[in-house]
Amino acid sequence: MQEINVGLLGMGTVGEGVARMLINNRELIRSRVGADVRLKRIADIDISRSQQIELENGVFTTDAYSIVNDPDIHIVLEMIGGQSVAKDLILKAMQNGKHVVTANKSLLANQGQSLFQAAHEYQVDLAFEPSVGGCMPIIKLLRESLVGNHIYSMTGILNGTCNYILTKITEEGIPFESALADAQANGFAEADPTMDVEGFDTAHKLAILTSLAYGMQINFKDIYIEGISRITPMDIRFADEFGFRIKLLAISKIGENAVEARVHPTMIASDNILSSVRGSLNAVTITGDAVGDLFLSGHGAGMMPTASSVISDTVDIARNILHKAIGRVPLLSYQTPNIKQIPVIPMEMISTHHYIRFSALDQPGVLSKISGILGNHNISIKSVQQKGRKQKGSVPIVMMTHRAKEASMKQALAEIALLNVISQPPTLIRIEDENDE
Amino acid sequence: MQEINVGLLGMGTVGEGVARMLINNRELIRSRVGADVRLKRIADIDISRSQQIELENGVFTTDAYSIVNDPDIHIVLEMIGGQSVAKDLILKAMQNGKHVVTANKSLLANQGQSLFQAAHEYQVDLAFEPSVGGCMPIIKLLRESLVGNHIYSMTGILNGTCNYILTKITEEGIPFESALADAQANGFAEADPTMDVEGFDTAHKLAILTSLAYGMQINFKDIYIEGISRITPMDIRFADEFGFRIKLLAISKIGENAVEARVHPTMIASDNILSSVRGSLNAVTITGDAVGDLFLSGHGAGMMPTASSVISDTVDIARNILHKAIGRVPLLSYQTPNIKQIPVIPMEMISTHHYIRFSALDQPGVLSKISGILGNHNISIKSVQQKGRKQKGSVPIVMMTHRAKEASMKQALAEIALLNVISQPPTLIRIEDENDE
């Protein structure tokens, strides 16, 4: 029986899951692939990690380069993360003719182009299903299952930390800080939660998906990013009264020769299936010309779910090796010469419906001043409600607008914030409304 | 540029969608595959169907055999349906060295084994993503994405007609017959709805999925099948009061050396994500050792969604042809020698929670008689409620039971039905309870 030798770089959470799966499910994988997919070497700079699972002698090393330079190894699994060492190891592995699986979304989002070029040059496979959505096969879906579809849009919950926190605020009415502390205590958020709660992790994933869905190169800096740290229980409660939930969404759409790509807290209808995605789960709705809406939900992070995607990629490559079919599916979903340059629409030019909350003094004429400024900027109000009771002399006023351009909204809010009847900066949350007007 | 020639058999709904997609999205497919996937011939016995879309001269024929015998055609798409002509055409095509894509679930469920043997013998690919779940890539998920997982169970809504009817009854409180008439009027049910509403179509799909998930052969006759024609608005209302929805579920689980495979109306918790699947949508939750629960939802039928899966399979095969990698993924998810014989547990041996509704005379002692019989059969009652008002001298009594064996329940209900205080045969609906006791 043929052997495919695998080298694993990094024994963090996902790396450990991958090692467990390759060892414990080895027989299962053999019975499906018809070859032995063997975990030959594992590298981690922290030697204590060799104790995490039972390994044969000589499998563990602290020298990652001994793996990427090992002539017997066919596939390297990069589970280190970060952008410097990981990139160097991936490039060295590919230069040595090895195929690579990586979960490294920040590396792919920021420097993917040079990696894909190198894979092309050295004629190796570079797979990255585990970089987006944990166990959900979004990459395979875009590259293979929807291959005959023009993709119109994607809307995803791609960060479990944020969804866990928003679920806590929604269901328990606690403030962001308490929900974050809870997430940290339960292992759903890191000590430094910035990458997650400020939306960067979600944006990394959106960059990868956008590039695959439309066959384009995307500059990570062109993605609009806004996190969830300013979301309050009050806004979530008001949203609920209007029939909405608040989720941190990754949104990507293609129009005529331009795409939208943005990450921000978003109100969606309570009966939108994305609203039912609770806790640390991830989900995505992909819309294509033939399929309509296709929805996928599952564990977007964690040891074993992410490992499952690493194994899926590893087996795909093993099958390509066994059938001499490397490069069978183009890395970026389209053949390289067909990858397009499509401009990303600046956030200021995007139109959405808006939820706006003002803290205003409870005086006559306030509403007329606010609506006057909105009117000057061509923003039309759909509904307005004075909510709840006075807080420190102010009352919350909540408005839902018709579709309005981001730039106009920003200018109007800046003017409104200067009114002496306004006691706090206004809160703005964008609405994705399926029943668009 | 290389050319892959495709022959389409059958210009019914799905066939027409396939033709449209191959013609309209030809450039898109070429830019992803790097070869021209060309619709060379279409066969349908009804010559009027050649008018449904604009075709070049010579593409349409009424002679399907001229396609399966055409030496220039690489891939045959069988969209005829039924078990006789379709099977003969598929076998002839494979014998002639052609690869085949089929949407024919009844043929696969009943005679799949001989088809897979033939594909093996003639060394061709036989793909069938469109046979289950319309646009949802369930087959690819089981064969590729979850390749490293031990699958534990699958729970699916796999028939859009039934889900449409149950949604109508739930949301509008109308009886089954009216909901069916509505479904027929709106094109969601056929004139003879038996295959759909009595659960056979769902069971065909379950047979295919069960075989792939556990790497086994399954005898279609071993699947328990019960349809939705006896579901009443009353039971749906009572279910709602207990926090449940009623769905026609395909359920498959693997235990120690035996599987469950059954189709029946099932109560599931309202907050189970399957409960949020409305109308004609399909959905499935797949549970594996690494992924946990993975959920997928989308259009399970219809012209373009099903065509999308046909194209996905066609492109997969085209890529295999271009890379000389036919047989890259084993047809039944496991290498042929590793496919197991696993017994299917007879329904009588299955234990579930139950909802039972009795129509009983409003007399003292009724409850004691019913619960006495249940007790004799070791069935323990979780809750009991007398519901609503008298109807023709009877009152509905609703019971929820703890886990009890199907055989015991059937015997107990037969005894209870003989009581002279019982005015109608009892209604039994099984419950899938995630918080199992």
Q: At what angle do helices B160-172 and B233-241 cross, to 10 degrees?
A: 70
How high is the pLDDT of residue B390? 66
Taking a C-beta distance cutoff of 8 angstroms, is the pair A417, A386 a contact? no
Edge-to-edge strand order for the sheet containing A126-127? A60-61, A36-43, A3-9, A75-78, A99-102, A126-127
Out of 3.30.70.260, 3.40.630.30, 3.40.50.720, 3.40.630.20, the CATH code matching B347-431 is: 3.30.70.260
Q: How far is A339 from chain B (nearest CA, A)?
A: 9
- Write the CA distances from A379 to A81, A370, B114, integer angstroms: 44, 11, 66
B-chain residue closest to A136, CA distance: B294
Tens of pLDDT, residues A21-60: 999 999 999 999 999 999 999 999 999 999 999 999 999 9
pLDDT score of B388 more than 70: no
Q: How far is B347 from chain A (nearest CA, A)?
A: 28
Nearest to A372 by CA among A421, A412, A338: A412
Name the residue among A271, A273, A290 with its Cβ closest to that of B21.
A290
Return d(Cα B298, Cα B309) in angstroms, integer: 12
Return d(Cα B273, Cα B285) in angstroms, integer: 9
Provide Rg for chain A, Cα atoms. Answer: 24
Where do the domains of chain B lie? 3-134+303-341, 138-299, 347-431
Longest pairwise C-alpha distance within chain B? 84
Q: b vs e for B302-336, b when ≥16 Cβ sit within 10 Å of the residue's Cβ? A: bbbbbbbbbbbbbbbbbbbbebebbebbbbbbbee
CB contact under 8 A, A304 and B290: yes
The DSSP-derived string for A370-419 is HHHHHHHTTPPEEEEEE-S--BTTEEEEEEEESSEEHHHHHHHHHHHHTS
Strands A422-431 and B259-269: unpaired
CB contact under 8 A, A311 and B276: no
Chain A residue numbers with beta carbons less than 8 Å from the beta carbon of B299 are 291-293
pLDDT score of B237 more than 90: yes
Whose structure tokens read 């389209």? A334
Chain A residue numbers with beta carbons less than 8 Å from the beta carbon of B137 are 137, 140-141, 144-145
How high is the pLDDT of residue B391? 67
Is the CB of A196 inside 8 Å of chain B's CB atoms?
no
Label residue A173 left, alpha or beta by phi (over 0 means left) and psi (-120 to 50 means alpha). Answer: left
Chain A residue numbers with beta carbons less than 8 Å from the beta carbon of B144 are 137, 140, 312, 315-316
User: Once rounded to an integer, what is the mean pLDDT over residues B243-256?
Assistant: 97
Which tokens is A60 given?
């563990």
Tens of pLDDT, residues A184-193: 999 999 999 9
Name the residue among B147, B315, B329 with its Cβ closest to that of A148.
B315
Chain B residue numbers with beta carbons less than 8 Å from the beta carbon of A317 are none
User: Once rounded to an integer, what is the mean pLDDT over residues B267-290?
Assistant: 96
A-chain residue closest to B137, CA distance: A145
Local confidence band at A393 (pLDDT 50, 70, 90 cut-offs): confident
Is the CB of A340 inside 8 Å of chain B's CB atoms?
no
Chain A residue numbers with beta carbons less than 8 Å from the beta carbon of B295 are 295-298
Q: Give me the percent of chain B exceeding a pLDDT of 70.
A: 98
Contacts 24+ apart (CB under 8 A), A82-86: A82/A106, A82/A107, A83/A107, A83/A110, A83/A111, A86/A9
Is the CB of A316 inside 8 Å of chain B's CB atoms?
yes
pLDDT score of B178 more than 90: yes
Taking a C-beta distance cutoff of 8 angstroms, is the pair A359, A423 a contact? yes
Provide Rg for chain B, Cα atoms. Answer: 24
B-chain residue closest to A315, CA distance: B147
Is the CB of A150 inside 8 Å of chain B's CB atoms?
yes
Taking a C-beta distance cutoff of 8 angstroms, is the pair B254, B149 a contact? no
Q: b vs e for A225-252, b when ≥16 Cβ sit within 10 Å of the residue's Cβ? A: bbbbbebebbbbebbeebebbbbbbbbb
CB contact under 8 A, A311 and B21: no
Q: How far is A261 from chain B (nearest CA, A)?
A: 22
Looking at this protein, which amino acid is placed at residue A119? Answer: A
Average pLDDT of chain B is 95
**Chain B residues 255-284 within an 8 A CB cutoff of chain A:** 271, 273, 276
Which tokens is B129 given?
């993503």
Taking a C-beta distance cutoff of 8 angstroms, is the pair B246, B266 a contact? yes
Is the CB of A29 inside 8 Å of chain B's CB atoms?
yes
- Angle at B14 (CA atoms; ends B10, B18), nearest 5 degrees: 85
CB contact under 8 A, A316 and B144: yes
Name the residue among B140, B290, B298 with its Cβ closest to that of A293.
B298
Handedness of CA A303, A309, A313, A314 (dihedral sign): positive
Taking a C-beta distance cutoff of 8 angstroms, is the pair B136, B300 a contact? yes
* Residue B199 CB burial class (10 angstroms; 0-12, 13-18, ≥19): buried
pLDDT score of B436 more than 70: no
Query: Catalytic pick from A98, A205, A247, A253?
Result: A205
pLDDT score of A391 more than 90: no
User: Once rounded to an integer, what is the mean pLDDT over residues A374-380?
Assistant: 97
Q: How far is A141 from chain B (nearest CA, A)?
A: 8
Chain A residue numbers with beta carbons less than 8 Å from the beta carbon of B328 are 319-320, 322-323, 325, 328
ipTM over 0.85: yes
Tens of pLDDT, residues A61-93: 999 999 999 999 999 999 999 999 999 999 999
pLDDT score of A388 more than 70: no
Q: Class of the B3-134+303-341 domain?
A: alpha beta
Nearest to B284 by CA among A368, A331, A296: A296
Strands A75-78 and A99-102: parallel
Q: State the best of A147, A152, A282, A326 to mutate against chain B, taking most chain B CBs within 10 Å.
A: A147
**What letter would DSSP give residue B120?**
H
Write the CB contacts of A345 (distance below 8 Å, at least 6 apart in sequence).
A255, A258, A259, A260
The DSSP-derived string for A70-108 is -TT--EEEE---SSSHHHHHHHHHHHTT-EEEE--HHHH
Strands B259-269 and B427-431: parallel
Is residue A140 part of the annotated active site? The answer reads: no
How many contacts, defined by CB atoms under 8 Å, are there between A and B?
Answer: 205
Is the CB of A298 inside 8 Å of chain B's CB atoms?
yes
Return d(Cα B102, Cα B121) in angstroms, integer: 18
User: Once rounded to an integer, what is the mean pLDDT over residues A368-388?
Assistant: 92
Return d(Cα A93, Cα A68) in angstroms, integer: 5
Is the CB of B338 inside 8 Å of chain A's CB atoms?
yes
Name the residue among B32, B297, B308 with its Cβ closest to that of A295.
B297
Superfamily, domain A348-431: ACT domain (3.30.70.260)
pLDDT score of A181 more than 70: yes
CATH number corresponding to A138-299:
3.30.360.10
Whose structure tokens read 């039994």? B428
pLDDT score of A434 more than 80: no
Across A199-208, A382-391, B151-160, least confident range: A382-391
pLDDT score of B386 more than 60: yes
Q: How far is B382 from chain A (nearest CA, A)?
A: 28
Tens of pLDDT, residues A139-170: 999 999 999 999 999 999 999 999 999 999 99
Nearest to A78 by CA among A343, A389, A330, A314: A314
Tens of pLDDT, residues A237-257: 999 999 999 999 999 999 999
Name the residue among B21, B145, B320 with its Cβ closest to that of A140.
B145
Catalogue the active-site residues of B.
205
Nearest to B146 by CA among A284, A305, A18, A320: A305
Is the CB of B185 inside 8 Å of chain A's CB atoms?
no
Handedness of CA B421, B427, B433, B437 (dihedral sign): positive
**Chain B residues 360-419 within an 8 A CB cutoff of chain A:** none
Q: State the best of B30, B38, B123, B147 to mutate against chain A, taking most chain A CBs within 10 Å.
A: B147
Chain B residue numbers with beta carbons less than 8 Å from the beta carbon of A149 are 25, 308
- Is 3.40.50.720 the CATH number for A3-134+303-335? yes
Tens of pLDDT, residues B18-64: 999 999 999 999 999 999 999 999 999 999 999 999 999 999 999 99
Looking at this protein, which amino acid is placed at residue B75? Answer: I
Nearest to B100 by CA among B335, B316, B323: B316
